[in-house]
Amino acid sequence: MTLFMLYVYLAGLLLLTHLYDCSVASTIHTEHSTAAPSCKRWFEILDDLQYNVFGGGKCGDPARKALRLTFHDGIGRSAALKASGRFPGGGADGSIIKFADVELEDPANTGLEDIVYVLRSLADDHGVSYGDIIQFAGAVALSNCPGSPRLAFYAGRAEAIAPSPPKLAPFPTDSAETILSRMADAGFTAEDTVALMAAHSVAVQKIIDPSAVGAPLDSTPEAFDSQFYLETLLRGTSYPGKGRSAAEAKSPVKHVFRLASDAALARHKSTACYWEAFVGDQERMRGSFRKAMEKLANQGHSNLADCSSVIPAPKPWNRPPKLPRGKNVSDIEQTCTAVQFPPLA
């Protein structure tokens, strides 16, 4: 190859790279011009997240961990502690990153270590608060999962002043009553609680049963949908692994993992009707989840800037829930008798 030909070849590569970069930028930043000036920095952070953390915008393990982290940071808030004169926690204030040496010792936060340190580095690099980076990363992560709602994102949280009080995150071994009491103490209704469980529709288990690592919590973990709510109502028959933990309940689908707490909430008198309603109404499920997540992210904060336009629009997913192969309506353990169970495919 002559020097001239090499020059032409390299110039062509540079041009293709430039065109590719422009294409990516135009896809991601279509709403850049309409964003508030204080929000525009988040487009650069979006690129960093998508390409360096979420594998090019995938609904994979890093995205799942980021979504889980939004809850574990935000749930650190207690009206009962405040009423007793003790520090109530700052909610979605980033304390799980700032005080990682304390909060990651809580067994409820096991498995979040990697994403905590990744997001700490990202926040430090871009000069944003830890509370903001957690909620932003969670909203972006969810947008990578087809069928999800486009979450709101508000920026401007102050840094945490102290670690969250311990034992504020519910455990999968907790009873439905214990979970609902804890959630009410944090400002959430029974419907909010059921709605937040929708995050489990894209979840997999990594910690509870080492013999079933990677087992999804429903049969469509690639999508944010109400299949999770349907399958959790089906009579359990087996475990995907050895099934020796009190945190696990029998599942109706061989390769699917069921949390004991999900099974309890699906059948409890205070939550069953909400649970069953989501089976037949995915739009209601999405709307309720979006509302509950906005409450989780913003309680206790004020004067935040609405930067929701930075969050990408998720891809649609319109498949209705359906009974797994070999199952029929007699396998549904229906607790709510106030309404008729929705028709199924």
Catalytic positions, written as ranges: 72
DSSP class of residue 310 equals G
Looking only at Cα atoms, what is the longest distance across the chain?
Answer: 80
Cβ atoms of residues 228 and 218 within 8 Å: yes
C-alpha torsion 233→236→238→241, nearest 10:
40
β-strand pairing of 248-249 with 258-259: antiparallel
222 three-state secondary structure: coil
91 is in an annotated binding site: yes
95 is in an annotated binding site: yes
225 is in an annotated binding site: yes
Tokens encoding 194: 């059921």
Cα–Cα distance for residue pair 240/207, rounded to 1 Å? 14
125 is in an annotated binding site: no
308 is in an annotated binding site: no
110 is in an annotated binding site: no
Cα–Cα distance for residue pair 296/91, rounded to 1 Å? 8
C-alpha torsion 69→72→73→74, nearest 10:
110
73 is in an annotated binding site: yes
26 is in an annotated binding site: no
User: Which residues, including other chains, have CB under 8 Å from residue 303's CB and lie 6 or more apart?
Assistant: 156
Binding-site annotation: residue ranges: 73, 91, 93, 95, 200-201, 218, 220, 225
Binding-site annotation: residue ranges for Ca(2+): 73, 91, 93, 95, 201, 218, 220, 225
